[in-house]
Amino acid sequence: MNKPDFKILFVCMGNICRSPTAEAVFLKKLHQKAWSHKVKVDSAGTHNFHPNAPPDERSQTHARKRGYDLSQLRARAVVERDFEAFDLLLTMDWDNRALLEERCPAEHSHKIRGLDEFLQTSQASVIPDPYYGGEQGFEDVLDLIEEASDGLMQFIAKKAST
């Protein structure tokens, strides 16, 4: 099997809402472009609150309505080898980013970025945590992740052409 050209890790706090949603959305976009073999995608949490648990049922329900399947994903925490193994570690908010930056070896710190950096029109500075909010929060997260995923696809296309 060929080694992927690029490896991306999506990171939120518990790896049951935002980061598995981002993983599933981005995987579908990769599949649609036939790039699944070129880009490896995973997700993890800064905290090990839900080891091996499926994504939050609300995240799964809202994602399923848009054609994304989160059911096979399982929560895990970021581990030290992730900093070396992935080309990009994309955080959902400033707390996630700060926690990763604290743990990250200096030679890999350039890999940590916010997923919001890939938004194309939205002015959000984070992908907000919908866990304690209402149903609309899960829809808002999907909107932002879909938009950022489009920007991330463009970023990867440019990187591949250089």
C-beta separation of 78 from 11 below 8 A: yes
Which residue among the candidates 56, 82, 93, 129 is catalytic per the annotation? 129
Which one of the listed residues 12, 56, 104, 116 is annotated catalytic? 12
Instruction: Indicate if 129 belongs to the active site.
Output: yes
- 140 contacts 130 by C-beta, under 8 angstroms: yes
Q: How many other CB atoms are found less than 10 A from the CB of residue 114?
A: 20
Nearest alpha-carbon partner for 127 in 30, 17, 3, 4: 17
Q: Which residues on neighbouring strands pair with residue 40, listed in sequence order?
A: 7
CB 70 within 8 A of CB 21: yes
- Per DSSP, the three-state class of 159 is helix
Note if 116 is an active site residue: no
Query: Is position 17 annotated as part of the catalytic site?
Result: no
> Of 5, 17, 18, 116, which residue is the catalytic one?
18
Backbone angles phi, psi at 45, to 5 degrees: -115, 155
- Catalytic residue numbers read 12, 18, 129
